[in-house]
Amino acid sequence: MNIGAAARHSGLPPKTIRYYEEIGLLKADRAQNGYRDYSGEDVHRLRFVQRARGLGFSVEECRQLLSLYGNSGRESSDVKALASAKLTEIDRKIEELKGLRKTLSHLVASCHGDDRPECPIIDGLAGRTDA
Amino acid sequence: MNIGAAARHSGLPPKTIRYYEEIGLLKADRAQNGYRDYSGEDVHRLRFVQRARGLGFSVEECRQLLSLYGNSGRESSDVKALASAKLTEIDRKIEELKGLRKTLSHLVASCHGDDRPECPIIDGLAGRTDA
DNA sequence: GTAAGCCTTCCAGTTACTGGAAGCTCAAGA
DNA sequence: TCTTGAGCTTCCAGTAACTGGAAGGCTTAC
């Protein structure tokens, strides 16, 4: 299977697949004409990475997950630890965004948003507490 | 005021302040010895950017906000529009993370996490629906 | 005078791609 | 058979927003 087909089956752009190969994440065989040649198992791994990336795992984490994926002697606790850490990280990000949201929505709500130059948002960003 | 002092007053590292100058966001006067020289107003602008970045505005958005900040003839609706768009974006990110969280926590919860190789997390990433 | 601590510039690296150019290969149609 | 277009190759450069480090100048205190 050429890279275009592998891209369609995995949901990753060809550029990204080549990039993953360049950084040593996933290598493909080569056909006689020099084209990359993907097996069904290769495509499985590509989809695997595509899903893991979509769930917020970094490329380096995908590298770890891939080695666990292909390792039938793995312990599920290894994978669970990785995933749990990621979950904690996601929770932290959500809380952080909620904090931003709160501050920003206060500022937006207190701004009348008309043609007058007075603007509580600007004042808030400038650190003026009388906003 | 030298860059180190400006850094302490604004909460931005010197490296970042130099970077902002390099990209034309904030320029400083120079003392006779070639050192950057920051006025109180410069420091206000640095803090302004520091706060806006902390609220999730991109550097380019900070550039816009800065020009509105210094523009006494601005309309508060301009600023409100920028901030509202950012708020929407933050909401979208929160929802996206919640979705990730849900999927990942399902996977984590269904994984026994012991020394056996069976792992619903790996299976889930691999697209096996019997996980 | 010399050492520490600041400042300067410049170059390179980070993350995870993405875009584009130059050129080769392959399949189909006139 | 020739050509055209799609798809493939590599390589170089750029993105966002810094960050680290090297090499060297300035300042201040002892």
Token pair in block for residue B30: 């120079």
Q: Are residues A24 and A51 part of one domain?
A: yes
Residues of chain A contacting B77 with CB distance shorter than 8 Å: 113-115
**Closest alpha carbon within chain A to B105:** A87
Token pair in block for residue A48: 């695997």
Minimum CA–C1' distance nucleotide for B12: D18
For an interface test with B, which of A122, A123, A129 has the most B Cβ atoms less than 10 Å from its Cβ? A122
Q: Are residues B11 and B68 part of one domain?
A: yes
Q: Distance between CA B52 and CA B33 in Å, rounded?
A: 32
Q: Are residues B64 and B24 part of one domain?
A: yes
Q: Among candidates B41, B40, B50, B38, which has minimal Cα distance to B12?
A: B50
Instruction: Chain B: give the shortest CA distance to residue A33, in Å.
Output: 31
Would you give the end-to-end CA distance of chain B in angstroms? 62
pLDDT in tens, B2-60: 999 999 999 999 999 999 999 999 999 999 999 999 999 999 999 999 989 988 889 99
**Contact present, A10 and A17 (Cβ < 8 Å):** yes
Separation of B94 CA and C4 C1' (Å) = 48
pLDDT at B37: 96
C-alpha torsion A125→A118→A108→A112, nearest 10: 180
Residue pairs spanning A and B at CB distance below 8 A: 164
Residue A131 has pLDDT above 70, yes or no: no
- CATH number, domain with residue B44: 1.10.1660.10
Residue A107 is part of which domain span?
A: 90-131
